[in-house]
């Protein structure tokens, strides 16, 4: 993990949840748990999100652990490719920074969320035991991270407003 990239992206994130920036500052004072990075994959109309089926967590954005020596953006892109077969660019700024625990027996860790915009008819691949599927943002999905839906919806509205503003 490249800590300088983590700190920079945490500061740049559009949304902050769970007092994540303060958590990161405290966490930097001791050995840190592995950090996480994920991708909120949206369709161009900003009406659908691509999720993967995790055996324990339910439907979640593609993502995972930031490996040693890896930046969070690179980790997010790698996880997206591994879990969905998508090799696409991520939008420039990180969408969100949050603190969460990915297992009951793990300490909370920092999670950075990035965004990719992809047509829904693109072929999907990835890990057979974790199939990917598109979900309408207005519909619910089964996930241990229930707050994700509202967070992703809020970011889709933010992107829509930015798109409308730049079109003027």
> DSSP characters for 90-156?
PPSS--EEEEE-SSTTS--EEEEEEEEE--TTS---S-TTS-EEEEETTS---BS-THHHHHHHHHH
Q: Specify the pTM.
A: 0.91
How many Cβ atoms sit within 10 Å of the Cβ of residue 69?
8
Domains along the sequence of the chain with CATH: 3-167 (3.90.79.10)
pLDDT value of position 106 = 72
pLDDT band at 105 (very low <50, low <70, confident <90, very high): confident
Q: Given pLDDT bands bounded at 50, 70 and 90, which one contains residue 11?
A: very high
1 has pLDDT over 70:
no
Q: Of 30-34, 106-110, 136-140, which range is least confident?
A: 30-34
CA nearest to 35, candidates 4, 79, 66, 77:
66
Instruction: Compute φ and ψ for 79, nearest 5 degrees.
Output: -65, -40
Closest by Cα among 132, 125, 84, 79 to 102:
79
Structure-model confidence comparison of residues 80 and 164, the more confident one: 80
Per-residue pLDDT tens digits for 106-137: 788 899 999 999 999 999 998 888 999 999 99
């Amino acid at each position: 993990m490249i800590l300088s990239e983590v700190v920079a992206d945490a500061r740049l994130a559009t949304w902050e949840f769970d007092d994540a920036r303060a958590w990161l500052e405290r966490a930097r004072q001791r050995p840190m748990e592995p950090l996480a990075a994920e991708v909120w994959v949206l369709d161009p109309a900003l009406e659908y999100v691509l999720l993967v089926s995790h055996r324990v967590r339910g439907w979640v954005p593609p993502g995972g652990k930031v490996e040693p020596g890896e930046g969070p953006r690179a980790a997010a892109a790698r996880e997206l490719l591994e879990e969905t077969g998508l090799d696409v660019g991520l939008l420039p700024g990180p969408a969100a920074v949050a603190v969460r625990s990915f297992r009951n027996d793990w300490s909370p860790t920092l999670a950075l969320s990035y965004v990719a915009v992809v047509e829904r008819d693109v072929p999907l691949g990835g890990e057979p035991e974790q199939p990917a599927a598109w979900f309408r943002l207005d519909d619910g999905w089964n996930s241990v991270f229930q707050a994700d839906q509202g967070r992703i919806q809020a970011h889709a509205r933010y992107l829509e407003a930015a798109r409308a503003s730049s079109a003027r």
